[in-house]
Amino acid sequence: MLGTFIVRSGLLTSVHAFAVDPQRGLFILALLAIYIGVALVLFAWRAPSLEAGALFAPVSREGLLVANNLLLAAALGTVFVGTLYPLALEAAAGQTISVGALISMRPSCRSCCR
């Protein structure tokens, strides 16, 4: 949702930005705020009824779920930094960077980018 807002509002130019419209960007930002607000309200509502659970073994279903969550959080952080780094660099140093067409021509990427 954050990436959609950044591209659709015109903050970041992308080849996928076929509809750059600040009104659409504000709508997506409002939708993002609603999603986050509802999630926080639900968490605050349910938090008092949650009980502390017992410790679990690292090699178990719960342990694999934690490992999966850590892997997905690392992927999310990588995409988040990669999306916002060009904006932060431009704001801080006035330099612009972009990923060109040559990224898809690398030998390691040819099999997955066809």
List, for residues 34-50, the tens digit of each pLDDT value: 999 999 999 999 988 88
Answer yes or no: pTM beyond 0.85. no
Dihedral angle sign, alpha carbons of residues 43, 48, 49, 50 = positive
Three-state secondary-structure class, residue 57: coil
Closest to 96 (Cα-Cα) out of 85, 107, 105, 108: 85
What one-letter code names the amino acid at 114? R
Closest to 4 (Cα-Cα) out of 34, 71, 18: 18
**pLDDT tens per residue across span 12-23:** 666 655 565 667
Annotated domain spans of the chain? 1-50, 57-114
Distance CA 83, CA 85 (A): 6
CB 14 within 8 A of CB 5: no
